[in-house]
Amino acid sequence: MNIKHLKYKNYRNLRSGVIIPNKGINIIYGNNAQGKTNLLEAFWLFTGGRSFRGAKDSDLILQGEKKSQLDLCFYSEEREQAAQIIIENGRRNAKLNGISQKSSAGLVGKFCAVIFSPEHISLVREGPSLRRNFIDSALCQIKPGYAALLSRYNRTLAQRNTLLKDIPHHSELIDTLEIWDEKLASYGENIVNFRIQYIENLSVLAKDIYGGICKNSEVLGLCYRKSAENLKEALKKSRRDDIYSGHTGFGPHRDDIDITINSMSARSFGSQGQKRSVVLALKLAEAEIIYRKTGERPVILLDDVMSELDSSRQDYLLNHLNECQVFITCCEPESLKLLKNGSLFEMDCGELLKK
């Protein structure tokens, strides 16, 4: 899959223009606050997701204007396709090949991209919920039915938790716990099995990519960590604690992924550059899994990834992602000495100049 061109009008600080990238590496450089991330965000909207910065739709329109329009021409499924997003009156409308979609979620699965932004380093640095979200959103994209399973689990969990809080006031309710535990354990075991399988696949690919990034000087390890070996048993045993705390102490909502570099916790011991490399390896491995599932290579969006990476790690990004279309933003055109093949664009006050 690749982007042929993107026309933008009144998107953030990008007043109007077009970018015609090449099929391989595209570098967008410029000083801070010129609009580089805004451009990647505009591409990202076509995946049907929300702004990766968590912005409201109305924030996306150039200040002082009422309407923002993006027209994307991309190559996928062996043909050129056209997608359009118009943001107006607090709504986001999307068209695909001329056909209006009910919502921009109608674009999901049509245009695929993987985004790395500096904030994603929290995936390694922070608590387990971000790591669980990472696997869950990856699985939602490639496993039909997973999103529904997850929401059934979450609903059942919420119901069980409500019940736990009611039991101290209505002790007769304790008998109904059995039914919820059965349901929760069954959905939960299913989720855990999907996740373990995904991490096993991801792990093989991410290890390989990480080895490429650090020229095999370090070894990445990924391992799914269950909160309970047997969920049904654990729920039963922890009933008293759960009633006391009003929360369910075991289940996929308490699981984590252990990430190690040379067998040491990346979260506790990794340097900034190592953490960044880990997240990159995870994202690129995710892209590879999407490719194996769909036959299309997602577009890779790398925002500000160059700083904190040494030159051999930079070289990997600039010269070893040959099979994908890649967009890399950076401030310093110096690091680009390493670039062997690719297009250069300079972003200056929302104006894009081809170099």
Of 25-33, 183-191, 220-228, 253-261, the window that binds ligand ADP (rule: CB under 6 A) is 25-33
Residues near 44 by beta carbon (within 8 Å), at least 6 away in sequence: 51, 52, 113, 115, 301
How far is residue 184's CA from residue 313's CA, in Å, rounded to a whole number?
Answer: 44
CA distances from 12 to 65, 105, 111 (A): 10, 21, 21
Please spell the DSSP secondary structure of 99-160, one letter per residue: EEPSSGGGGTTTS-EEEE-GGGGHHHHS-HHHHHHHHHHHHHHHSTTHHHHHHHHHHHHHHH
Please spell the DSSP secondary structure of 301-345, one letter per residue: EEES-STT--HHHHHHHHHS-TTS-EEEEES-GGGGGG--S-EEE
> Which of 5, 18, 22, 33 lies at the binding interface for ligand ADP (CB under 6 A)?
33
Contact 81, 74 (CB under 8 A): yes
Site for ligand ADP contains 32 (CB under 6 A): yes
Site for ligand ADP contains 13 (CB under 6 A): yes
Given ligand ADP, Mg ion, none, residue 21, with its beta carbon under 5 to 8 Å by kind, binds none
* C-beta of 107 vs 300, nearer to Mg ion: 300
Q: Which of 279, 267, 309 is nearest to 121 (CA)?
A: 279
Of 31-39, 187-195, 215-223, 238-246, the window that binds ligand ADP (rule: CB under 6 A) is 31-39
How far is residue 214's CA from residue 7's CA, in Å, rounded to a whole number?
Answer: 37
* C-beta of 51 vs 319, nearer to ligand ADP: 51
Given Mg ion, ligand ADP, none, residue 248, with its beta carbon under 5 to 8 Å by kind, binds none
* C-beta of 34 vs 141, nearer to ligand ADP: 34
Site for ligand ADP contains 12 (CB under 6 A): yes
Of 35-43, 221-229, 236-244, 294-302, the window that binds ligand ADP (rule: CB under 6 A) is 35-43
Window 58-97: residues binding ligand ADP (CB under 6 A): 59, 61-63
CB of 30 to ligand ADP, least distance (A): 6
Here the tokens at position 264 are 């040491």
Cite the beta strand spans of 178-286 per DSSP E: 220-225, 256-261, 264-265
CB of 150 to ligand ADP, least distance (A): 32
Binding mask 11-40 for Mg ion (x = CB under 5 A): -------------------------xx---
CB of 37 to Mg ion, least distance (A): 3
Contact 266, 124 (CB under 8 A): yes
CB of 349 to ligand ADP, least distance (A): 9
Window 233-272: residues binding ligand ADP (CB under 6 A): none
Site for ligand ADP contains 18 (CB under 6 A): no
How far is residue 86's CA from residue 91's CA, in Å, rounded to a whole number?
Answer: 8
Residues of the shown chain interacting with ligand ADP in the complex, contacts defined by CB under 6 A: 12-13, 30, 32-38, 59, 61-63, 347
Residues of the shown chain interacting with Mg ion in the complex, contacts defined by CB under 5 A: 36-37
